[in-house]
Amino acid sequence: MSDQEKSLYYVEELPVPETPLPGKSPAPWKGTRIIGKAVPRVDAYERVSGSAVYPSDVSLPNMLYGAILRCPHPNARVKNVATARAESMPGVHAVISGQTAAADLEWTYSSRGVRLKSKLFDPRCRHEGETVAAVAAETPYLAWDAVRAIDVAYAVLPAVSDERAALDQGAAAVHDQGNRVAPPDIYERGDVDRGFAEADVVLEESYRTECEIHTPMEPHGCVANWDGDRLTIWESTQGVYRVQQNVAEILSLPLSKVRVIGHYMGGGFGSKLQAGKYTVIAALLAKMTGRPVKMILSREETYLAVGNRPPSNMTLRAGIKKDGTLSALDFTCVGTGGAYPAGGISLVDWQVRDLYRCPHVRTAGTDVYINAGPARPFRAPGHPQGAWALEQMLDALAEAVGMDPVDLRLKNIALYSQARDGQPPYTSTGFKDCLEKGAAAFGWKQARQQIAAAGNRGVIRRGVGMAGGMWVAGGGRPPSTIILKLFADGSVNLNMGASDIGTGTKTVMSLVVAEELGVKPEIIQIEHADTGTTQYATPSGGSKTVPTESPAVRAAAISLKQQLLEIAARDLAVDPATLSFRAGSIVSRNDPSKKINFTELSGLKQRGVVVGIGYRGPNPENKVTNPFAAQFCEVEVNTATGEVRIVRFLGAHDSGRVMSRLTYDNQVFGGITMGIGLAMTEARILDKTHTGKMVNRNWHDYKLPTALDVPEDLVSLPIEPDDTEANTTGAKGLGEPVTIPTAAAVANAVYHATGVRITQTPMSPVQLCRRLAERRKEG
């Protein structure tokens, strides 16, 4: 390789980190050359040019299209499925239902140790949108014609649509054993009665957050194709290995006979961590017809059958001393994961348990069944709901004891995890900095002073609000295996099983390779998210992908470097410990004339490739790694119309090291945007009094934030606590914490502006007008 060519691949004259001796842990990076910089994504070209192939774009020769007939009732028994008319339609190649022998397969739901078995096509449809039959036809139009031609006889049963009434006497039973998923989930530390007795002020309030639907832009779905007994699935998923495992188990196939590919995917937010019934149905239809089948759900189906963030009904009683010290928290929650065990109250109480220092805490959660679609994890499960209650309560407590809301939180910072056994310390917590630096950057005190000075009377009222948060996970964990290949010309291939769900995983991992090898990120080829060609990885979700994968990538790069050093030491006849990397070559630190380019290394020339393998090491024992957050916002409330305009938002986030600044900021803004949806507009509406059906199963009636709902003035303030213990890259998770405090911060700002405390999402103009009118009446 000429010097000119080499400079295409490697960054000149920049030292790369020293290589640890074999078996030794690498030192934390001090300064980084490329990690944390604002560089465009390595796959930006594919995503903006249209050359990225998403599963819904896959088109195979001779491909058929699938469609699913779903139960229109929230609770019904299928008496008969008449398919003859559909089967006889031209262009229709297969029709299956619960009456089809090959489709008689089990489908299991489980959550917190509760497992319930049902069927792929269960004759008892416990939620609207349950699968009843499916077809494969020449075009999607013909497939839907055929679905409409299937006659199903249902015995419609009474349904329960409101979790708050699910345990009432006479409520319809979702399952024979009743509507309680499990005995109440109780957590207790200290003695709350004593805590309340010690308090100077005790407040109690009830809160509710509505059920949200993920609705990723790419609907759920896949293309399935058989080659004999080998099945290949292109699935829109956050985790190809999880889908492979689900499908192999249900179809009783060896893992090696199921290949799942998911290079690109159009968003998941937790709803695409697993295979869907549609995945298995597509595979069955493909098998029966001997042709590939494309099965992409309609938008309406994504509202009914592939997950949601459960509604949460919460009551929080809190005791505080005059100096702002929390003395007791007592929290209850009733929630529902829908018709099957699906985590209806999962993690709703976590921040009450763990975010603030408090000696006396009790939480109790009740998870019930209703006749609605099963929940799936939704970005920071439970946490935005818990924050909605806890962070509004802290705001009220601050006012009650005459403290600034930021100061009250600073007064109660925890340096260790109180809710875990043994109360382990955090590997790092930047929560204090999130609060202090966030408040300073936002101009928190000045904003409050200005609003107070202006009197805040007219029709348009201004207010500022803030909230804190933490995410229960976000430290990552084994397993992860990464393979890094050095080609003969010094360019690099990175092989990883993880999906890039839009968070920038491929970019972050390329930057890790670039940092360690000195190679330019754009020269790195990436293979990922394919069970046939890449290594095992857990699904990308829970803010664990970067802290899980990046240390494994670093380990693979170090393994590669160690091998190159050994080869170079032999070639140059020197001690490997005296050698360093420099721009595609290896140089002796003692004698600069002893230098060899990668491409001249005998081992690389002979084999044509050097392979570095990296594994994710264990997390530190007896310590916890969590990300922390504080968000600040300013709103204008029109007290005549009830409209809220969010003027500006600032997110101060401790997610450890910033790995890639552009994708980092993008996550922060995206999390805030999603949180604005929870606060302002999003709510699944079930027709509770009559049909039990969902009435807003589309983006027209179920409103997501648009370009006009997000303020222009959005600031991302990274707090980097230099966590040297969490893992070898110092990164913590980001995707979940960025949406946790948002809705509560908006509610606190609305309270500051109007004096009206909105405890139920969404803060619609209708609700706000009603509450403002009530307040005027109260005088």
Partner 1 sequence: MKNDHDHSGKKTGFGPGVTRRKFLKTVGSGAAIAAASDALTARGIAKADVIKPEAIVRVNLSINGIRRSLVVESRWSLLYVLREKLGLTGTKVGCERGECGACTVLMDQVPRYACLTLAVEAQGSEIVTLEGLMQGEKLGAVQQAFAEHDAFQCGYCTPGQIMAAEGLLRGNPAPKPDEIRRAMSGNLCRCGAYAHIHRAVGRAAELKGKKGGAS
Q: Would you please indicate which residues are annotated as catalytic (active-site) residues?
A: 736
Strand partners, 548: none
Give the three-class secondary structure for 180. strand
Measured from the CB atom, the residue of 47 and 775 that comes closer to partner 1 is 47
Measured from the CB atom, the residue of 481 and 503 that comes closer to partner 1 is 503
**Site membership for partner 1, residue 698 (CB under 8 A):** yes
**Site membership for partner 1, residue 674 (CB under 8 A):** yes
Closest approach, Cβ 225 to partner 1, in A, equals: 16
Closest approach, Cβ 45 to partner 1, in A, equals: 7
Q: How many residues bind partner 1 (CB under 8 A)?
A: 59
Site string for partner 1, 91-130 (x = CB under 8 A): ----------------------------------------
**DSSP code of 555?**
H
Report how far Cα 322 is from the mean position of its chain's Cα atoms. Answer: 39
Among 245, 548, 673, 754, binds partner 1 (CB under 8 A): 673
Q: Does residue 279 contact residue 260 with C-beta atoms inside 8 Å?
A: no
Backbone φ and ψ of 356, nearest 5°: -110, 150
Closest approach, Cβ 642 to partner 1, in A, equals: 21
> What distance in Å separates the CA atoms of residue 647 and residue 634, rounded to the nearest whole number?
5
Diameter over CA atoms, the chain: 90
> What distance in Å separates the CA atoms of residue 758 and residue 464, rounded to the nearest whole number?
15
Stretch that binds partner 1, among 223-231, 528-536, 663-671, 749-757 (CB under 8 A): 663-671
> What distance in Å separates the CA atoms of residue 385 and residue 387, rounded to the nearest whole number?
5
Measured from the CB atom, the residue of 32 and 667 that comes closer to partner 1 is 667
Closest approach, Cβ 448 to partner 1, in A, equals: 25
Pairing verdict, β 258-261 and 230-235? parallel
Among 28, 57, 691, 760, binds partner 1 (CB under 8 A): 57
Pairing verdict, β 524-528 and 185-189? unpaired
How buried is 164 (Cβ within 10 angstroms: 0-12 exposed, 13-18 middle, 19+ buried)?
Answer: middle
Taking the alpha carbons at both ends of the chain, their separation in whole angstroms is: 82
Give the three-class secondary structure for 104. coil
Question: What are 231's two structure tokens?
Answer: 């099945």
Among 157, 167, 203, 704, binds partner 1 (CB under 8 A): 704
Question: What are 193's two structure tokens?
Answer: 């009665």
Cβ neighbours of 273 (radius 10 Å) = 23
Measured from the CB atom, the residue of 49 and 606 that comes closer to partner 1 is 49
Q: Per-residue DSSP letters for 433-481?
A: HHHHHHHHHHTHHHHHHHHHHH---SSEEEEEEEEEEE-S--S--S-BE
Closest approach, Cβ 296 to partner 1, in A, equals: 7
Site string for partner 1, 246-265 (x = CB under 8 A): ------------------xx
Stretch that binds partner 1, among 146-154, 436-444, 626-634, 659-667 (CB under 8 A): 659-667
Stretch that binds partner 1, among 438-446, 465-473, 566-574, 666-674 (CB under 8 A): 666-674
Stretch that binds partner 1, among 28-36, 214-222, 323-331, 755-763 (CB under 8 A): 214-222
Site string for partner 1, 33-52 (x = CB under 8 A): -------xx--xxxxxxx-x
> What distance in Å separates the CA atoms of residue 758 and residue 634, rounded to the nearest whole number?
16
Stretch that binds partner 1, among 28-36, 173-181, 318-326, 696-704 (CB under 8 A): 696-704
CA distances 586 to 518, 572, 652, 755, Å, are 12, 10, 41, 67
**Site membership for partner 1, residue 219 (CB under 8 A):** yes
Among 80, 102, 104, 141, binds partner 1 (CB under 8 A): 141
Q: Does residue 679 contact residue 742 with C-beta atoms inside 8 Å?
A: yes
**Site membership for partner 1, residue 201 (CB under 8 A):** no
Under the rule (CB under 8 A), what is the footprint of partner 1? 40-41, 44-50, 52-54, 56-57, 59, 139-141, 145, 214-219, 264-267, 269, 296, 298-299, 501-504, 662-663, 665-667, 669-674, 698-700, 704-708, 710, 712, 714
